[in-house]
Amino acid sequence: MVKRVVTGAHYGLKDWLAQRITALVMAVYVIVVVGILLACTPHSYEDWRALFAHQPMRIATLVFFLSLFWHAWIGMRDILMDYINPTGVRLGLEVAVVLVLAGYAVWVVQILWSL
Amino acid sequence: MKFRIYRYDPDKDSQPRMQDYDVEMQPSDRMLLDALIRIKSVDDSLSLRRSCREGVCGSDAKNINGKNGLACITRLSDLKEPVELRPLPGLPVIRDLIVDMTQFFKQYHSVKPYLVNNQPSPEKERRQSPAEREELDGLYECILCACCSTACPSFWWNPDKFVGPAGLLQAYRFLADSRDEATSERLDNLEDPYRLFRCHSIMNCVDVCPKGLNPTRAIGKIKDLMVKRAV
Amino acid sequence: MAIPVRKFDAVIVGAGGAGMRASLQLAEAGFKVAVLSKVFPTRSHTVAAQGGIGAALGNMGEDSWMWHMYDTVKGSDWLGDQDAIEFLCREAPKVVIELEHFGMPFDRNADGTVYQRPFGGHMQNFGAGPAVQRSCCAADRTGHAMLHTLYQRNVRANTHFFVEWMALDLVRDASGQVLGVTAMEMETGEVSILHARAVLFATGGAGRIYSASTNAFINTGDGLGMAARAGIPLEDMEFWQFHPTGVAGAGVLITEGVRGEGGYLLNKNGERFMERYAPNAKDLASRDVVSRAMATEIKEGRGCGPDGDYLLLKLDHLGVDLIEDKLPGIREIAKKFANVDPVKDPIPVVPTCHYQMGGIPTNYRGEVVAPQSGDPEVVVAGFYAAGECACASVHGANRLGTNSLTDLLVFGKASGDTMIRFLKENPGHKDLPKDAADKTSARLARLDSQQGGESVHEVGAEMRRIMQAHCGVFRFPDMLIEGVKKIKETAERVKRTQIGDKSKVFNTARVEALELDNLIEVAVATLVSAEARNESRGAHDRADHHQRDDVNWLKHTLWYKESSRLDYKPVHMKPLTVQSVEPKVRTY
């Protein structure tokens, strides 16, 4: 028997599921927002501000972006796992991706709550 | 008929090269394998694997005009000239059209491709309903030719870590067998980011399988089983 | 030149059904066993078997191993050894059940038992009929399913395979005991001696001696060639089965299971001609009978096609559902190789060389036997054979469909068990003779240094042409005499084969030249044995003696390579525990 190559923790299924759940969340958000925009189309900057002044809208938007970043993280890591074989280089790139995505998340909070 | 064939003999060549052949075919030469045997009767240095010549042994898989397939069941009349033949991609070349399949079989072995049932053997057969048996259709027919795994980019990049479509199809063959008791161990064995989850469902495997099997569907079913177990 | 030596308890040459069933016995019993194969094990020719495994399970209705035994003796035209046949048929249900437990994906009945289909020559009630359903199958891919199951079980047992190694010669010491084989690793061209306490040959048949054959390219009779060169006789080599339904022009097999499921043969008048030749069994008569009937139809001008050289196998009336369920592989083959979809149109078929009934003489325990000082069956110590390369003899002059896979399982297992007993009783390796590898080295050196020699391809083609023309379904005395002369001339040419490719790495030209050395022994044995047998029995049909002659010819042929000498030995008419099946006229 060949010994299986140990490749890390059992997070394969968790990530695969997470990718699908985050995709679902994003889809729902997009549908809801498109619905809202069709129902009461904002015409000015003020209208847009008013729309995002609602707390539920802010939270929903935050959830959307967090899903997007989580989704992107799994996707980016998948790509890095596929194509970058040297562990050191891959780790470096993974850290870079995490930092960028975390930065984006902070920026999203800043934008939404400074309106 | 014109052919361009990948040639490499480490005993003589420092580099692989493409060799052109223009060979007169006979009416009895209908399949690509017939043509290769005719070429070999002229140039006996061309090395290739072949055995059953009817598509059940899985020996003569190669890359034919850019697509993996079995030479013995590929009709010459369906091929565009010059017919370009290369060894299966992604595996080390031993010589000419012959590749080293060690890694491919290692992955096959890694899924424990045998029935596990530790109950005492009954005197007669273990009963299985026709419906339960039908679950194995489309799985047990695999001939281990490696067309699928060597058409899979995920297997190209991580042949040591990703089981590949052929191995995963067989993993599911035993998961799907009503007589097998090792479902949980089999799922444990695959639940990791590489072994199963390098499959991104691009379906190259389905496209090339000479037996018309669908490894992507089997992989999807393994994922379903994992989700069901987790929930 | 120092040739590396590797030591094992047992060496098995060949990883088809018989080799892997035997290796399983040995590996599970904890012995160090090496299995050599020219191809990855699941590519062995067992993979191409389609129709099923014969065993009297009685899942479809009443059946008994004694009925199976009767059918097999009758099928063999009474040339089969009845002790071995009793053993085969009694053990068959056990090995099939074992295989099911190993994970074999058999087709099933509604009650969950293994499905069995009818097959030629298998009847109820000691041949009285009607047909019995005895063939255990996995659609029309039974051999494939069985070979993969056996390989998988061997993976579990940690069997050590030497993949893409070709055995070259048998190593025997001065007393005649077998001590191993010489073998070449194809990837590197390196030769080794595999030193063993017991050697099993499970190298399959040599159907490639004919130009039209259902056999794989690897079926080159390597075990028979090695045995013959080492002084072991070959038994009953005149008996070759021509399968009634090879795809015309391509040679690819169409299983008898097609007729088992209800298909039948037609001539150019659309007549179901088998009703004339075998009024009871019709298309499910024994294979030799059907093939002869087909050859007669073609000879008498009732063949189909522009040249009237094939017949038609009709199965469209079975309906697309049954064909897809039970015969999917056949549909695939017919579309690929005959350009017809059998759901709509009949398949053009012709009798095609399929199976070698003869082989290395063994007893029913798998031990190789040869005459010595008056005793026709003295065991050759340390040497075993099983499967198509062996002649136990259970198939006699004609094998029944499904009995080949049964043979692999029953005698693969039995020879494994016999080897285990021998290994326990004979601990320790005997010393290798000093000249153990000399013969092999000389052959390889000759091949590498040959100048102005013969092309392997051309001499091989000539051999196949001679066999096809002189030793086919019907055999004529003058053609046989001429054939013997021609094949002996060809054998001389084989001694001078030359290859252009001298590379060490995966040199398939060298492999093919070495295979031809083995094929030619089989071809000579076949023609010489056939020319001498002055009667018609089973698959051997002579134009000058159309009847079976039990007074003079109820005996096994033994061919020796040394001056192509023939000897004979009696048939075992006495079974192990039951009454003999007495010879009578064979009709279906």
Considering only the beta carbons, identify the residue of C103, C503, C506 that sits closest to B177. C103
- Separation of alpha carbons B16 and B170, rounded Å: 34
The answer to whether B197 contacts A15, with C-beta atoms less than 8 Å apart, is yes
Question: Is A11 in the B-facing interface, judged by CB distances under 8 Å?
Answer: yes
Contact between C310 and C349 (Cβ < 8 Å): yes
The answer to whether C109 contacts B52, with C-beta atoms less than 8 Å apart, is no
- Separation of alpha carbons C125 and C269, rounded Å: 35
Question: Is C296 in the B-facing interface, judged by CB distances under 8 Å?
Answer: no
Contact between C142 and C15 (Cβ < 8 Å): no
Chain A CB contacts of B223 under 8 Å are 13, 16
- Separation of alpha carbons C421 and C379, rounded Å: 14
Q: How far is CA B191 from CA A84, B162, B223, C476, C505, in A?
A: 21, 11, 9, 67, 40
Q: Which chains touch C (3 or more CB pairs under 8 A)?
A: B
Considering only the beta carbons, identify the residue of C48, C101, C148 that sits closest to B52. C48
- Separation of alpha carbons B227 and B76, rounded Å: 45
Chain mean position to CA C134: 20
Confidence band (pLDDT; 50, 70, 90) for A115?
low
pLDDT of A40 reads: 85
Question: Is B73 in the C-facing interface, judged by CB distances under 8 Å?
Answer: yes
Question: Is B13 in the C-facing interface, judged by CB distances under 8 Å?
Answer: no
pLDDT of B192 reads: 84
Active site residues of C: 287
Chain C CB contacts of B11 under 8 Å are 503-505
| Nearest CA-CA distance, residue B71 and chain A, Å | 30
Question: Is B89 in the A-facing interface, judged by CB distances under 8 Å?
Answer: no
Residues of chain A with pLDDT > 70, as a percent, come to 90
The answer to whether C103 contacts B115, with C-beta atoms less than 8 Å apart, is yes
Residue C108 has pLDDT above 60, yes or no: yes
Residue C2 has pLDDT above 90, yes or no: no
The answer to whether C187 contacts B94, with C-beta atoms less than 8 Å apart, is yes
pLDDT of C376 reads: 95
For residue C61, the SS3 value is: coil
- Separation of alpha carbons C213 and C351, rounded Å: 9
Give pLDDT tens digits for C460-485.
999 999 999 999 999 999 999 999 99
Confidence band (pLDDT; 50, 70, 90) for C1?
low
Delimit the domains of chain A by residue range: 13-112
Chain B CB contacts of C327 under 8 Å are none
Residue C60: HSE in the Cβ half-sphere, 13 Å Cα cutoff? 17
Chain C CB contacts of B101 under 8 Å are 40
Amino acid C139 reads A
Considering only the beta carbons, identify the residue of A2, A81, A82 that sits closest to B110. A2
Give pLDDT tens digits for C13-64.
999 999 999 999 999 999 999 999 999 999 999 999 999 999 999 999 999 9
Question: Is C476 in the B-facing interface, judged by CB distances under 8 Å?
Answer: no
The closest alpha carbon to C399, from C256, C552, C241, belongs to C241
The closest alpha carbon to C420, from C249, C266, C578, C200, belongs to C200
Q: Where are the alpha helices (DSSP H) in B4-44?
A: 32-42
Question: Is C499 in the B-facing interface, judged by CB distances under 8 Å?
Answer: yes
CB atoms within 10 A of CB C128: 10
Chain C CB contacts of B45 under 8 Å are 500-501, 503, 509
Model ipTM value: 0.98
Mean pLDDT, residues B122-141 taken together: 97
Which C-chain residues 187-226 have CB contacts (< 8 A) with chain B? 187, 216-218
pLDDT of C129 reads: 80
Question: For C461, which residue in chain B has the nearest alpha carbon?
Answer: B41
For residue C167, the SS3 value is: strand
Question: For A82, which residue in chain B has the nearest alpha carbon?
Answer: B157
Chain A CB contacts of B230 under 8 Å are 13, 17
The answer to whether A82 contacts B195, with C-beta atoms less than 8 Å apart, is no
Chain B CB contacts of A75 under 8 Å are none
Residue C26: HSE in the Cβ half-sphere, 13 Å Cα cutoff? 32
Question: Is B161 in the A-facing interface, judged by CB distances under 8 Å?
Answer: yes
- Separation of alpha carbons C74 and C586, rounded Å: 7
Q: Can you give the C-alpha Rg of chain B in angstroms? A: 20
| Nearest CA-CA distance, residue A4 and chain B, Å | 6
Tokens 């991609």 locate to B89
- Separation of alpha carbons C286 and C291, rounded Å: 9
Mean pLDDT, residues C93-105 taken together: 98
Question: For C40, which residue in chain B has the nearest alpha carbon?
Answer: B59
pTM of the model: 0.95
Give pLDDT tens digits for A10-35.
678 889 999 999 999 999 999 999 99
Confidence band (pLDDT; 50, 70, 90) for A98?
very high
CATH level 3 topology of A13-112: 3 helical TM bundles of succinate and fumarate reductases (1.20.1300)
Residue C159 has pLDDT above 60, yes or no: yes
The answer to whether B117 contacts C101, with C-beta atoms less than 8 Å apart, is yes
The answer to whether B109 contacts C105, with C-beta atoms less than 8 Å apart, is no
For domain B2-99, the CATH architecture is Roll (3.10)
- Separation of alpha carbons B177 and B186, rounded Å: 12
Question: For C186, which residue in chain B has the nearest alpha carbon?
Answer: B94
Residue A1 has pLDDT above 80, yes or no: no
Chain A CB contacts of B189 under 8 Å are 4
For domain B102-230, the CATH architecture is Orthogonal Bundle (1.10)
